[in-house]
Structure 1
């Protein structure tokens, strides 16, 4: 009997070496995890959720690779109607989203992550830090619809 999604935590974790290919590896792991949740557990996961999760994973792992020496831990979990993305690295300095500046080249990753998430937090750990982003698994509106911006 397959457990109901709310009976047991559904997740996966991997230690990445922090080298060049780890960003692509992390994106691939995230897409595969969400596809398995949809196929094997019947969890509603939109294509947009897969793409946004891959983008968030890519941004968080890129920052970890850029600022921390050593391994990076990536943990993905289903939490109700959200996917929780956690990235740990050895650098204790917490990231700070910079103020919006359309003229700034680069360093927009955290702004993007925060804009896409239902929740984001950064916490120091006994060693390093852990960033947690929570993303909706389903689209907020029926596909093909547009939001009224009035």
Structure 2
């Protein structure tokens, strides 16, 4: 998988997020003001956009978010590849990354070295948890 970094919300990232978060999972408010400030990664399999995530700085911390892989491309480690690529960029600026995970997939992030911090909270009726990982420079 090839990844491309954009400093704007690229149409490929937008389409993947609509498919995964809105069509598949039923979220209504998928896009927010953070999209204007974030960097967006898009993963391509044979020139076809299949995965995305964004990362951004907020209150002196770096966050990864909106990790999405098209349904037919799951179980190929593309989500993990997107996280690792975002961590590579973040590690140039910080020694820790944060993310907000849906509780149902926290095990995926734990396998990547993330740890829970704080309490479970609700986002559009879906339980989420804040997680963090110490990065190597």
TM bucket (normalised to shorter chain) is 0.3 to 0.5
The one of the two structures with greater contact order (alpha-carbon pairs below 8 A, sep at least 6) is 1
Larger Rg computed on CA atoms: 1
TM-score in terms of structure 1 length: 0.34
TM-score in terms of structure 2 length: 0.37
Greater share of strand:
2
